Amino acid sequence: MSHTAAAANDSAPQPAVFEAYLHGLQDRLCAAVEAVDGEAKFLRDAWQKPADAKLQGQGITCVLSGGAVFERAGVALSVVNGPSLPPSATKARPELQGLPFKAMGLSLVFHPRNPYVPTTHCNVRLLSVGDAAWWFGGGFDLTPYYGFADDARHWHQTAHDAVGADLYPRFKRQCDEYFYLPHRAEPRGIGGLFYDDFTEGGWDAALALTQKVGDGLWQAYAPILERRRDMAYTERQRQWQLLRRGRYVEFNLVWDRGTHFGLQSGGRTESILMSMPPLARWDYDVTPEPGSAEAALLSDYLITKDWL
């Protein structure tokens, strides 16, 4: 389907509607995180690119640090435009090279303090290229440090319910394929949803789907957080968490297209790298003990699997 195709009688693209939704979603997520943490508050950093910058626009980056529950939580909104798409966005569509673009989106990452609580990431976005094309993208994924089957089933059931039975298998497969570290030959986590270049059904349908994904993140994550946040842990579990966070850093810096897009297009570096964990570690050639919970994460959870 063409990026410019639309359903009969469908509304014309209305980016301002999606932008208003993003502001509301950011406010709701920050309020929910602060209520759960009970200690730390978000720093709200409103920014605007200088007039002589290659990329123009503004955004609000909200970062919570050193909380009782969250070691770091970031919820970043940006609305930017530039003179031409960067290479990371035009590999599959060279006809769009050199065209001006506008991009808006919300990205979040929650890095919990307790190793039994997974890290989660979500992004919802809209990209429009001159008068030639527009498309939505987004999704959410879960990166556990210790595996729990009931958490994985709940996560994927909520993802399934957010997008429906027709789209879930495709978006799950795309998530499994995207959040994969080829140099490690392992997934980053247990997946969830991922889609890009989405225009199916026209503007109204694509917008509604992306809003369901944005709204679904907290519905998927909050019950897992509540179950695991008060579990007792030792220094061994903490060090494993930091080691696995290293994999998170590797993916974001080496493979993530969103990071590449932001840096190549002249985006705001502090907001782009907000997703990094505050602490991580790299040890040489670590192999978990056979039969351990750490080994089970690798063998039973960081695999392609139908959790439903």
Torsions phi, psi for 219 (to 5 deg): -65, -35
Predicted confidence at residue 91, as pLDDT, reads: 60
Mean pLDDT of 102-120: 97
Task: Tell me how far the alpha carbon of residue 90 is from its chain's centroid.
Answer: 21
| Candidate list 3, 23, 111, 121, residue with the active-site label | 121
H runs (alpha helix) in the chain: 15-37, 149-163, 168-178, 203-228, 235-254, 257-264, 269-272, 293-296
Tell me the percentage of the chain whose pLDDT exceeds 70.
94
Summarised one tens digit per residue, pLDDT across range 128-159 is 887 778 999 999 999 999 999 999 999 999 99
State mean pLDDT over 284-300: 96
pLDDT one-digit tens code per residue, 232-282: 999 999 999 999 999 999 999 999 988 887 888 777 888 889 899 999 999
Sequence-ordered list of residues with C-beta below 8 angstroms from that of 24, at least 6 positions apart, any chain: none
| pLDDT band for position 5 (cuts 50, 70, 90) | very low
> Is 3 among the catalytic positions?
no
Distance of CA 263 to the CA centre of its chain: 17
Could you say which architecture CATH assigns to the domain 15-278+287-301? 3-Layer(aba) Sandwich (3.40)
SS3 category, 272: helix
Query: How do the domains of the chain map onto residue ranges?
Result: 15-278+287-301
Q: Buried b vs exposed e over 189-201: b needs ≥16 C-beta within 10 Å?
A: bbbbbbbbebbeb
**Residues whose CB is less than 8 angstroms from the CB of residue 86 and which lie 6 or more positions away in sequence, other chains included:** 260, 261, 264, 265
List, edge to edge, every strand of the sheet that includes 70-82.
43-48, 56-65, 70-82, 101-112, 119-129, 133-143, 191-198
Q: Is the pLDDT of residue 1 over 50?
A: no
User: CA 116 to CA 297: how far, in whole Å?
Assistant: 12
Adjacent-strand bridge partners of 56: 81
